[in-house]
Homo-oligomer: A and B are copies of this chain.
Amino acid sequence: MDKRKRKIINDPVYGFIPVTSSLLFDLLEHPWVQRLRRIRQLGLTYLVYPGANHTRFQHSLGASYLMGQALQSLQGKDVPVSAEETLSASVAILLHDIGHGPFSHALEETIIKGLSHEQLSLLFMEQLNQEFGGQLDDALKIFQGRYPRKFFNQLISGQLDMDRMDYLQRDSYFTGVSEGIIGLERIIKMLYVQEEELVVEEKGIYSLEKFVLARRLMYWQVYFHKTVVSAEQLLLKILARARQLAENREKLFVTPALHYFLYDRYPKKKVETLTARERKELLDRFSLLDDNDIITSAKVWSESSDPVLSNLCRRLVNRKLFHVEIQDHPFEEEKECRIRRKMMKDYGFSEAETAFFVFTNTISNFAYSPKDHQIKILRKDGSVQDITAVSEIMDQNIISRIVEKHILCYPKEYTNN
Point out residues on A near B: beta carbons under 8 Å.
8-13, 15-16, 18, 29, 31, 34, 37-38, 40, 46-47, 49-51, 53-55, 57-58, 61, 76, 173-179, 181-183, 185-186, 189, 206-207, 209-210, 213-214, 216-217, 220-221, 253, 255-257, 288, 290-293, 295-296, 299-300, 303, 317-319, 392-393, 397-398
Contact = CB atoms under 8 A, between A and B. Distances in A.
Contact of A10 (B18, B175, B292): B175
A183 B176 contact: no
16 contacts: A11-B51, A11-B176, A12-B176, A15-B176, A15-B185, A31-B317, A50-B55, A50-B58, A50-B61, A53-B53, A53-B55, A178-B186, A209-B217, A210-B213, A213-B213, A255-B296
Given A11-B51, A13-B51, A16-B186, 20 more contacts: A10-B175, A10-B177, A11-B50, A15-B178, A16-B185, A16-B189, A18-B76, A29-B319, A34-B319, A37-B46, A40-B53, A50-B61, A51-B174, A179-B182, A179-B207, A181-B181, A207-B217, A209-B216, A255-B299, A393-B398
Given A53-B54, A189-B16, A178 B177 contact: no
A179 B185 contact: no
B318 A34 contact: yes
A55 B374 CA distance: 40
A122 B181 CA distance: 39
Say whether chain A's binding surface is mostly helix, strand, loop, or mixed.
helix
A38 B185 CA distance: 29
Given A189-B16, A318-B31, A50 B9 contact: yes
Q: Which 6 A-B residue pairs are closest in the complex by CB-CB distance?
A: A12-B176, A53-B53, A206-B217, A179-B183, A31-B318, A10-B176
Contact of A292 (B31, B47, B257, B296): B296
A105 to B, nearest CB: 20
A268 B189 CA distance: 52
A66 to B, nearest CB: 14
B186 A12 contact: no
A206 B210 contact: no
A401 to B, nearest CB: 9
Given A31-B317, A58-B51, A210-B210, A175 B292 contact: no
Nearest to A12: B176
A194 B290 CA distance: 47
Nearest to A258: B296
A207 B57 CA distance: 27
Nearest to A178: B183
B50 A189 contact: no
A256 B253 contact: yes
A288 B299 contact: yes
A329 to B, nearest CB: 16
Nearest to A62: B50
Contact of A179 (B49, B210, B296): B210
Contacts of A55: 46, 50, 53
Contacts of A37: 46-47, 50, 319
Contact of A295 (B38, B50, B178, B213): B38
A173 B12 contact: yes
A220 B397 CA distance: 24
Nearest to A32: B318
Contacts of A220: 206
